[in-house]
Chains A and B, each alone.
Chain A
């Protein structure tokens, strides 16, 4: 509501008869708001740091320049294309880049920087520009306001509001939650059901499109565009500075940073103090960052949790223990750089049971989980879940099918609160929930694991036992049909362990099937219905816990041949 009121007030500015300068100045502010915010939707949210925003901005500039300046299209008609062309280029690039897993961090930054050089060279040496620049002063500007500068003001205002609204909406949506998860730990996000590839593409496209429209308007604003000005390093550098100044983890941060930096740069344009002013700007910059390291809006960077609303206690699905197989693994093999981690492994999990998966260190237990959850590609064999082949499926689709896992060493999303961590899987699980429903669900599992008191903290404030329970809560929150627990008990004190065992029983009682990987034999004997033993990547035994533990092969595997 306040947003709408602000929009109306700002929209009225050109009709107040203020000197045109104010409109022009605010145009510049809005222009940078759009660029910084659009950069942040990709780079701030998902952590894919782009040094190449100038490329997409520039493609937008030249799309409008060619359509309006050379082909005489009406200005406003060119803007959708100024959005579409950079977005298409972004998607095409992203479709290649995001398939290459290693291209994170500096490599992504480097690639986008290189793209800027390539695009600017192409524009300079093809008829798009060709060298002389493109003159746009003859482009007729629609009369949206009493003055020309008023028109630019309104266009940029609409775009800036739209961009900030989009940033706000993304921030609070499933999409945004997914992007923040990608930022923190992409592999885990994917395993929790986030379609990371699609999300990154969408964020890239959105970011490019918004920058492109800003470029289209900018081209006509300056009325003469050249390659040197358009693709200069300033755009790429300034958007990063602005976003960081305002705070990259807040939807409004980049906008605020853009307004602050644009104003700072403008304040020091009086000729007598041009040089001293520049130095002062540098000093202000340093002081702000030293004393507000999270950016101007850093301290507000956490989404307010919605009012707590517990989901109804789930209907305790009757424990349908039967002989039907929920998961059938056949002939599964996996090698890492020549080392055979799993060879021809067979495994059957029956609906409703707790299956213990044991074996010495390095026997391939965790590898098996990583293969079933799709974390690693499979070399050979088949994994069928409820009759459906999982080999070759993306991890997020496997998660959606109803399989969840925990990590042996907890891997929470470090920048999300405990509540957000647990609310993530339900948003991307078998039944897609919106954020409110997912948070209600999360509260329930936090209650269940005794973490409700820590819900609004970040995971770094939890101890090991609490982190292990966070892993558990996160896996449970998606209400999986099949749950892999990877050494959830290791490192816990005996009393903590008892609590955990009680929890796991409770989980099974609610209808989940559990594969329980553990070294703590007491727990295995107490909890499991059946046990499968792996050693050197092969099955050696299966059966009731008591029988298996007396198997000489198993004893050898655990204690070595000499003792056999």
Chain B
């Protein structure tokens, strides 16, 4: 029987990787659920953000400070992307295709600038960790978790309690009706799309803090993050985080008690069972 420290550490590691899934999925779920845009380019944008963090970090800038530059720039990109998609009235399936095109272009851009070889951000964050009881808590992961929770909760609260958020939800439910009640649907969508891209910048910063980067890695995250977004319920800002943590922890615990190769089997079998037995919960 594995020790409690081992189980605890494995579960904690699952929480951290789940938080990263959640952060990656946040922008995706909002644009998918509320704008009906399945944005593959989000993954490439996350990596572009990570590479920019790496570049600015290598020039001596603090990774957190880089966000002040990257996030606004990405906001503009997201808004511009939305303008394009709205101008051509691209439907949900086609947004998948158009954004695939953008993903490939961004991937090429990254490889052109930073080559296909691995890049790794050196930062003092990586050296900081705390010991809580028998468990170790490293700073970059904690930062990721805090940002993931903070952003998800902030978006959730904003959608629920502010007028702007309520207007956004109304627009997502039924744009023409919302427009009839005086909601400026176009401006809201633009704002939301920009925000989603800014979230990609945050996720990219966290990715740069904890992972080694290569352009082809963009594709490695799609499957599991899509799963997390869909499990969490489209448009639900808390969904990807919760689903990511559930998957991360179930995989972490599986790896702690049995052969690590079985981890995906356990988490995704659980998911299939849940889908079949309680479909109305999703």
Q: Please list the residues of chain A having a beta carbon within 8 angstroms of any beta carbon in chain B.
A: 51, 96-97, 100-103, 106-107, 109-111, 113-118, 120-122, 124-125, 233-234, 237, 240-241, 244-245, 248, 275-276, 278-279, 281-286, 289-290, 293
Interface residues of B (CB under 8 A from A): 84, 88-91, 93-94, 96-98, 100-105, 107-109, 111-112, 219, 222-223, 226-227, 230-231, 234, 259, 261-262, 264-265, 268-269, 271-272, 275-276, 279-280, 282
Q: Residue on B with the closest CB to A54?
A: B223
Chain B residue with Cβ nearest A277: B108
Using known A-B contacts A96-B276, A100-B276, A282-B101, determine if residue A114 contacts B88 with beta carbons closer than 8 Å.
no
Per a CB cutoff under 8 Å, which of A103, A114, A240 touches B96? A240
Q: CB distance B261 to A118 under 8 Å?
A: no
User: In the complex, A107→B231 CA distance in Å?
Assistant: 8
B227 touches A113 (CB 8 A): yes
A-B contact list, 7 entries, CB within 8 Å: A51-B226, A102-B279, A117-B265, A124-B261, A248-B93, A285-B98, A293-B89
What is the bound-complex CA distance between A451 and B16, given in angstroms? 61
Tell whether, in the assembled complex, residue B105 and residue A293 are in contact, meaning their CB atoms are under 8 Å apart: no
Distance between Cα atoms of A237 and B226 in the complex (Å): 12
Complex CA gap A248/B111 in Å reads 33
Please determine whether B101 and A110 come into contact, CB atoms closer than 8 angstroms: no
Rounded to whole Å, the gap between the CB of A268 and the closest CB of chain B is 10
Q: Give the docked Cα–Cα distance between A248 and B102 (Å).
A: 22
Residues of A within 8 Å of B96, CB to CB, are 240-241, 244
Contacts of B104 in A (CB 8 A): 278-279, 281-282, 285
Q: Which of A118, A275, A279, A289 contacts B97 (CB 8 A)?
A: A289
Interface hub of A101, A279, A283 (most chain B Cβ within 10 A): A279
| Contact A121:B262 (CB < 8 A) given known A233-B219, A275-B112 | yes
Expressed in whole angstroms, the Cα–Cα distance for A327 and B100 within the complex equals 56
Q: Which of B107, B223, B265, B271 has the most CB of A within 10 A?
A: B223
What's the nearest-Cβ distance from chain A to residue B40, in Å? 8
Q: Tell me if B's interface is mostly helix, strand, loop or mixed.
A: helix
Which residues of chain B come closer than 8 Å to A122, judged between CB atoms? 265
Distance in Å: Cβ of A563 to nearest Cβ of chain B? 36
A-B pairs, top 3 by smallest CB distance, nearest first, are A282-B104, A285-B101, A279-B108
Measured CA separation A144–B93 after assembly (Å): 41
> What's the minimum C-beta distance from A171 to chain B, rounded to whole angstroms?
19
Chain B residues in 8 Å Cβ range of A284: 101
Check if A290 sits within 8 Å of B98, measured CB to CB. Answer: yes
Which of A110, A233, A237, A279 contacts B275, CB < 8 Å? A110
**Besides the contacts A96-B276, A107-B282, A279-B104, what 9 more A-B pairs have beta carbons closer than 8 Å?**
A106-B230, A110-B231, A114-B272, A124-B261, A234-B219, A282-B105, A283-B101, A283-B105, A286-B101
Assembled-state Cα–Cα distance A106/B232 (Å): 11
Q: In the complex the two chains form, is B272's CB within 8 Å of A244's CB?
A: no
Given contacts A102-B280, A122-B265, A244-B94, contact A114 B101 (CB under 8 A): no
Expressed in whole angstroms, the Cα–Cα distance for A110 and B102 within the complex equals 24
Q: Is B268 a contact of A117 with CB atoms below 8 Å? A: yes
Which residue of chain B lies nearest to A44 when distances are taken between CB atoms in the complex? B93
Provide the residues of chain A in CB contact with B268, threshold 8 Å: 114-115, 117-118, 121
Q: Is the CB of B97 within 8 A of A285?
A: yes
With a cutoff of 8 Å between Cβ atoms, the chain B residues found around residue A124 in the complex are 261
In the assembly, what is the distance between CA of A285 and CA of B234, in Å?
26
Nearest opposing residue in chain B for A279, CB measure: B108
Contact of A111 among B88, B91, B98, B272 (CB under 8 A): B272
- Once A114-B271, A117-B268, A286-B101 are accepted as A-B contacts, the answer to whether A233 and B279 lie under 8 Å apart by CB is no
The answer to whether A275 and B101 touch (CB under 8 A), given A97-B276, A118-B269, A125-B261, is: no
Query: Which of chain A's residues have a CB closer than 8 A to the CB of B227?
Result: 110, 113-114, 117
Report B-chain residues with C-beta under 8 Å of the C-beta of A275: 108, 111-112
